[in-house]
Amino acid sequence: MNAYLFSLLAGILAGVVYSLIGVQSPAPPAIALVGLLGILAGEQILPVVRRIVSGLKPGAAWREAKCSQHMFGALPGGRIPDAGKEDR
């Protein structure tokens, strides 16, 4: 139930931001896609910052947090890790 409540609150926040910047919902496709990219990037900020603070370099922190997989999915030609093995 919490996930639904948080999702609703995030949607309300997005609606408020849209209203503040003068964009009507549904937003034009380019604005909507940029907003979705911002959401995906925003989800990665805390995990990456935590790893950087713990001493990793930014590139290593990005890889360790598995940001590419989360933001871009399985890219064509990319290696799909075995389900039973940890990614190194």
- Listing DSSP states for 54-69 in one string gives TT--HHHHHHHTTHHH
pLDDT digits (tens, 9 = 90+) for 32-85: 777 777 887 888 888 888 888 988 888 888 778 777 666 666 656 656 555 555
Candidates 47, 42, 85; CA nearest to 66 is 47
88 band by pLDDT with thresholds 50, 70 and 90: very low
For the chain, give every domain's residue range.
Answer: 15-72
pLDDT digits (tens, 9 = 90+) for 9-38: 887 888 888 788 887 766 667 777 777 778
Burial class (CB in 10 A: 0-12, 13-18, 19+), 56: middle
- Separation of alpha carbons 51 and 56, rounded Å: 6
